[in-house]
Amino acid sequence: MKKTVLAAALGLMTVFSASYAEMKKVYVNQIVEHPALDQTAKGIKDGLEKRGYKQGENLDFRVESAQGNIALASQISTKFVNQGADVTVGIGTPSAQSLVKAASEGKTKMVFSSITDPLSATLVTKLSGSNNNVTGMSNKVDVVPQFELFKELLPNLKTIGFIYNPADANSIQQLDDVNVASEKLGLTIVPQAVNKTSDVPQAATRLAGKTDALFVYGDNTTLAALESVIMAANKEKKPVFVADTDAVELGALAALGPNQYDLGLDTAVMIADILDGKDINSIDVGFPNGLELFINQDAADKLGYTFPDAVKAKAAKVIKKD
């Protein structure tokens, strides 16, 4: 009897040990919570499940937000590395940057997502074969088609207010991109720097009073306070354009940009390949497959604006809650 009980106990311990050993750790450091990045994180989790990595079965999947705090992002990264994550994920530039050193030292494998320019953010030295245990998905898209859309919607558009965070390498890159695009199309960018989310409402109020429209590209500091931007713009009867389609529901007039959930799914493919044994340094940095047009009829009604039929025909989604 004792031998039977002992054998059963040993069997259970063996099964438990095997299950524990097979549990893969994927820990996500997300710089801040807002619709676009939240959708990216959701896409990663769902994509991993599609590849057979299920939470609680063979996957320990965690997401922690740094709440826009760079110091906290660094602390989260240190914790994840010390906890032996098989793959760490950086969503947003500061979160990804806080993981690069550990990855280059071989302490973790890092996959980034929703990064505009991984080169200027010094996440990788080249887009193919960077050899620092880092790869991921960029959300960079051409700004010119976006501005062409804005001009189609507002033929008299001349000036665009642009809020950015000078402490974020990607935000600086985005400012460069919009300046180049504006010169091609005869537009003027009016920039306004912010250092933290609490600075955004005042910056938006200032810009809404002196520009024809506001554009929020991918600056996470601004996106975390997007509703305050829209509120300030609405008071001046000015439209807000965004590059993140998931942010249109918050009250922006339109967005022509990548699908952030799909970006998460693509990121998950990279992570799953690494968990399956693929060399991370053989995985090239990826980019969005295309752009989607989202328009907000409710926002248009508040502004007294009517979308052209040609624009409505191109829209992948029309937001109308009423």
Average pLDDT score, the chain: 92
Residues 8 and 131 placed together within one structural domain of the fold: yes
Per-residue pLDDT for 5 more than 80?
no
> Is the pLDDT at 4 greater than 90, yes or no?
no
CB 200 within 8 A of CB 233: no
Residue 103 and residue 149 share a domain: no
Q: What is the pLDDT of residues 187-197, one digit of tens each?
A: 999 999 999 99
For position 169, what pLDDT does the model report?
87
Asked which of 21-25, 42-46, 251-255 is least confident by mean pLDDT, the reply is 21-25
Counting every residue written for the chain, the total comes to 322
Query: Is the per-residue pLDDT at 267 higher than 80?
Result: yes
Query: Residues 40, 181: one domain?
Result: no
Does residue 132 sit in the same domain as residue 149?
Answer: no
Q: What pLDDT is stored for residue 322 in this prediction?
A: 63
pLDDT at 11: 53
At residue 15, the pLDDT reads: 43
Same domain, 152 and 95: no
**Is it the case that residue 16 has pLDDT exceeding 50?**
no
* Inter-helix orientation angle 35-50/260-275, to 10°: 40
295 and 231 within one domain: yes
Residue 218 pLDDT: 86
Beta carbons of 134 and 124 less than 8 angstroms apart: yes
Residue span of the structural domain in which 119 resides: 2-138+260-282
Q: Check whether residue 69 and residue 19 sit in a common domain.
A: yes
Q: What is the pLDDT of residues 128-138, one digit of tens each?
A: 988 999 999 99
Q: State how many domains the chain has.
A: 2
List, for residues 48-80, the tens digit of each pLDDT value: 999 999 999 999 999 999 999 999 999 999 999
Q: How confident is the model at residue 253 (pLDDT cuts 50, 70, 90)?
A: very high
pTM for this entry: 0.86
Q: What is the mean pLDDT of residues 91-109?
A: 96
Q: Is pLDDT above 60 for 215?
A: yes
Q: Are residues 244 and 307 in the same domain?
A: yes
- What DSSP string describes 82-130? HTT-SEEEEESHHHHHHHHHHHHTTS--EEEEEES-TTTTTS-SSSS--
Q: Give every CB contact of residue 249 below 8 A, 6+ residues apart in sequence.
A: 35, 296, 319
* 141-182 residue pLDDT tens: 899 999 999 999 999 999 999 999 999 888 999 999 999 999
Q: Are 250 and 264 members of one domain? A: no
Neighbour tally for 265: CB within 10 Å: 20
Residues 117, 160 within the same domain? no
Cα dist from 27 to 90, 198, 250, whole Å: 9, 28, 28
My answer on whether 120 and 231 are in the same domain is: no
Same-domain check for residues 299 and 150: yes
Q: Is the pLDDT of residue 320 over 50?
A: yes
CATH assignment of the domain containing 241: 3.40.50.2300
Average pLDDT over residues 261-280: 97
